[in-house]
Chain A
Amino acid sequence: MPVSLANSRLIYETLKECDIRLVSALPETWLVHLIRMTDEDPEMTLVRLAKEEEAVGVSAGAHFAGVKSAMLMQNHGFLASINGIVSFAHLYKIPLLMLISYRGSFGERDPWQTQGGNVTEPVLRALGIPYFFLDGVDTAKKRIRQAQTLAESSLQPVAVLLTRDLMWEE
């Protein structure tokens, strides 16, 4: 499976450096290494979800408890979480660090991913969620740290879009 192990490790190590201690996740191909690394790390709590919207509640609970958390999901999982984001994270000013695999964009071979790819950025913009791309090894660490810093200072959801260039080795 050509999901980049090295870049998954880079992302994972950055999450650890950011003091993330709880990750909630729903599997998707690009996230398999990240989820496995979380699962195998005794310092980390992995919450495997039935549906991504649950992660908003789990992360809010972690925030109340003083634990830093991250959400790992596909862009379709982000789309499935919108009411939770609006009616909980935005309404109650809950910081969320959302790592979203950006499926359905340039280079996508799976036809079923393509519609979600079209709407991911417009929906993020409509929701007023700050986002940027994780597309290079050089900037990945810095950008994840910056995203977390902004989420914590602004008390709002911030999205990092994991791109094909970073996650997939062809």
Chain B
Amino acid sequence: MLRLDCLRTVYSELENHLVVTIMGAVAAELHSLGHRPNFFYLQHAMGLASSTGLGLALCLPEQKVIVFDGDGSLLMNLGSLSTMARYRPKNLVHVVFDNESLLSVGGFPTATSTGTDLEGIARASGIPRALTVRTCEAFKAAVKDAIHGHELTTIIAKVEASGPSGYITDLSLLENRFQFRRHIQSLRKH
């Protein structure tokens, strides 16, 4: 299963929600499908995409927030699972692309390649709904269910360790950040 194919299956579902991605391949691939002002790409600060999603979800309970995380990033901030579980915002969907690899920095294997089970860690941290998917169809169904459901969900998507040839897009970090905030402010006025 390719991450890009997964993203493609849910791209149309993302239009009315807030999306936060991690750095590298996830950001570049989502961007390649077509940037939208409701997408924020956290291009560094590994581990903090889920914390950002939590802050958004707690402050904007009427908005759905979708985080596209990765195994390398989440392993750097496993405590985030326990913090999310503690407040379990119903409007937060936490997707983790697990390619068992630190792909963006040379493809070194992460601990999920030797048995660390992120779904198990999520569940044991108290995330009310945690599941693992291995096909694009299952991915699409799981993300749609989580978006339309009312329960904090962590979806582990097992994907291949492959990505685009480069990660730099034509969207500057600050442009993305200011556009994202402005987009949220425009939603609040309606």
Contact = CB atoms under 8 A, between A and B. Distances in A.
A56 B59 contact: no
Contact of B59 (A57, A67, A83, A91): A67
B154 to A, nearest CB: 16
A146 interface: no
A49 B45 contact: no
Contacts of A92: 173-174, 177
Contacts of A84: 45, 48
Interface stretch (A12-20, A58-66, A104-112, A113-121): A58-66
Contact of A48 (B20, B44, B86): B86
A68 B184 CA distance: 14
B56 A64 contact: yes
Interface residues of A, number: 31
Contacts of B51: 53-58, 61
Nearest to B177: A92
B65 to A, nearest CB: 8
Contacts of B45: 56-57, 83-84, 87-88, 91
Interface string B148-190: 0000000000000000000000000110010011001100100
B58 A45 contact: yes
Interface in B36-51: 40, 42-51
Interface residues of B, number: 36
A58 B60 CA distance: 12
A51 interface: yes
Given A45-B58, A53-B77, A59-B55, A91 B173 contact: yes
A61 B53 contact: yes
A141 B19 CA distance: 37
A87 B139 CA distance: 30
Nearest to A94: B177
B77 A60 contact: no
A94 B50 CA distance: 17
A58 B181 contact: no
Contacts of B56: 61-62, 64-65
A61 B177 contact: no
A143 interface: no
B81 to A, nearest CB: 9
A27 to B, nearest CB: 14
Nearest to A67: B59
A93 B178 CA distance: 9
A129 interface: no
A55 B50 CA distance: 11
A126 interface: no
Nearest to B181: A64
Given A57-B49, A57-B52, A94-B177, 13 more contacts: A47-B87, A50-B80, A51-B79, A53-B77, A57-B47, A57-B50, A65-B59, A65-B60, A66-B188, A83-B45, A87-B44, A92-B174, A93-B177
Interface of A: 22, 45, 47-51, 53-67, 69, 83-84, 87-88, 91-94
28 contacts: A45-B58, A45-B59, A47-B54, A47-B55, A53-B48, A54-B77, A54-B80, A55-B51, A57-B48, A58-B55, A59-B55, A61-B20, A61-B54, A61-B56, A61-B59, A63-B181, A64-B180, A65-B56, A65-B59, A69-B55, A83-B45, A84-B48, A87-B45, A88-B44, A91-B45, A93-B174, A93-B177, A94-B177
